[in-house]
């Protein structure tokens, strides 16, 4: 299939758990799959905070207002999660968005319970809380309003400039040392991001977000994520320099992960857009992951090894020191936490 403008995936691979499969119509003139419109589906979950005990992940609790992501990043490791919903990790993932409309209400009720112990909550850790539909639905903002009301520590991870909309609330949390925003930057090259991350904010807008958040007194961290060896690795130092100049306090490099169907989606994207680099990219990924495109071992899923990985690690250490990054990073505080009022208490 030909690439679809405005979508990261060029097809809708089969769900590995199902025998049935949905195929999108193909435009007879262009040879492309017809670009699907975004559909919003209601999530009826009664639990809003997810917990994990994985040694691969640095946080214990997270909140995801949306399942699926309009950003359409072709490499997104969250794509296979749509298979648990009976859909495809391809076009379904970026066009069928499952929405937790009552997220703020559920969050308020959860934090009001006496057995809730405040700890750093990550939003979202899976799909982007500021994907385009958030501009209209404002579900992420509703959740942050609850967290700001009760001074609950929060880390936000996003690729979208839209996070600056909520500076008023994030500033209140920053006064209590209870917030950090992580902005992910993959490349400074718009020609790469236009097809690889079609509906994200462009690189200059993400750097603008870093600057505006920093100037508002909100701590900002930049993830160079994902690092794509053989394609974006030559931009590591320029991204670090641009991040430092924009006011970021710290920077980390997160190597590419390609679980399950994401491997084929990403390789297809390389064939469509960078066929001359495909072999180099694939071989360098394998060099870091014991000859594989992905590692599934519990505790080692995010690990990389080998000479190339060591080179990247040393480069990070050298340039963060040169740029004054990654020094004296204080943990977020929960000591100012106060339980929010529930809707029932508000009646009195």
Q: What is the pLDDT of residues 225-236, one digit of tens each?
A: 999 999 999 999
Tell whether omega for the bond before 226 is within 30 degrees of 0, i.e. cis.
yes
Per-residue confidence (pLDDT) for residue 2, from 0 to 100: 74
Per-residue confidence (pLDDT) for residue 347, from 0 to 100: 47
User: CATH assignment of 39-326?
Assistant: 3.80.30.30
Whether residue 171 has pLDDT greater than 90: yes
Domain ranges for the chain: 39-326
Closest CA to 133 of 62, 43, 71, 85: 71
Predicted TM-score of the model (pTM): 0.94
Cα–Cα distance measured from residue 299 to residue 266, given in angstroms and rounded to the nearest whole number? 24
Burial 265-278 (b: 16+ CB within 10 A, else e): bbbbbbeebbeeeb
Whether residue 346 has pLDDT greater than 60: no
Closest CA to 157 of 112, 200, 216: 200
Whether residue 55 has pLDDT greater than 90: no
- For 10, the token pair is 């060029």
Q: What is the pLDDT of residues 241-276, one digit of tens each?
A: 999 999 999 999 999 999 999 999 999 999 999 999
Per-residue confidence (pLDDT) for residue 52, from 0 to 100: 87
Q: What is the rounded end-to-end Cα distance, in angstroms, of the chain?
A: 60
Closest CA to 124 of 162, 168, 163, 157: 157
Average pLDDT over residues 163-189: 98
Per-residue confidence (pLDDT) for residue 59, from 0 to 100: 87
Query: What's the residue count for the chain?
Result: 348
Average pLDDT over residues 54-81: 93
CB contact at 8 A, 121 and 153: yes
For the residues of 34-102, what is the DSSP string, one character each? Answer: PPPPPEEEE---S--EEE---TT-S-SEEE-SEES-TT--TT-TTGGGGGGGTS-TTHHHHHEEEE-TT
């Amino acid at each position: 299939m030909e690439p679809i403008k405005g979508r990261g995936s060029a097809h809708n691979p089969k769900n590995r758990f199902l025998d049935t499969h949905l195929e999108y119509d193909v435009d007879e003139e262009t040879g492309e799959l017809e670009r699907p419109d975004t559909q919003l589906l209601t999530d009826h979950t009664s639990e809003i905070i997810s917990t994990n005990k994985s040694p691969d992940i640095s946080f214990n609790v997270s909140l995801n207002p949306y399942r699926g992501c309009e950003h359409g990043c072709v490499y997104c490791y969250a794509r296979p999660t749509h298979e648990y919903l009976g859909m495809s990790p391809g076009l379904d993932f970026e066009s069928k968005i499952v929405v937790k409309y009552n997220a703020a209400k559920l969050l308020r009720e959860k934090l009001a319970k006496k057995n809730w112990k405040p700890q750093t909550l990550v939003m979202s850790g899976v799909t982007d809380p500021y994907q385009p539909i958030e501009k209209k639905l404002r579900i992420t903002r509703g959740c942050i309003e609850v967290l700001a009301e009760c001074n609950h520590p929060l880390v936000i991870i996003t690729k979208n400039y839209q996070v600056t909309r909520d500076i008023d609330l994030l500033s209140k949390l920053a006064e209590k040392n209870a917030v950090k925003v992580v902005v992910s930057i993959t490349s400074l090259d718009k020609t790469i991001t236009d097809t690889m991350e079609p509906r994200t904010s462009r690189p200059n807008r993400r750097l603008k977000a870093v600057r505006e958040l920093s100037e508002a007194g909100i701590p900002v961290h930049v993830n160079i994520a994902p690092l794509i060896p053989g394609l974006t690795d030559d931009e590591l130092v320029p991204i670090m320099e641009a991040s430092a100049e924009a006011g970021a306090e710290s920077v980390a490099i997160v190597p590419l992960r390609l679980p399950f169907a994401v491997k084929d989606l990403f390789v297809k994207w390389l064939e469509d857009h960078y066929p001359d680099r495909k072999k180099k990219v694939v071989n360098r990924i394998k060099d870091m992951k014991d000859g594989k495109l992905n590692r599934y071992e519990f505790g080692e899923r995010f690990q990389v090894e080998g000479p190339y990985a060591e080179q990247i690690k040393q480069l990070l250490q050298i340039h963060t020191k040169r740029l004054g990054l990654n020094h004296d990073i204080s943990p977020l505080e929960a000591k100012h936490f106060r339980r929010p009022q529930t809707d029932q208490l508000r009646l009195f």
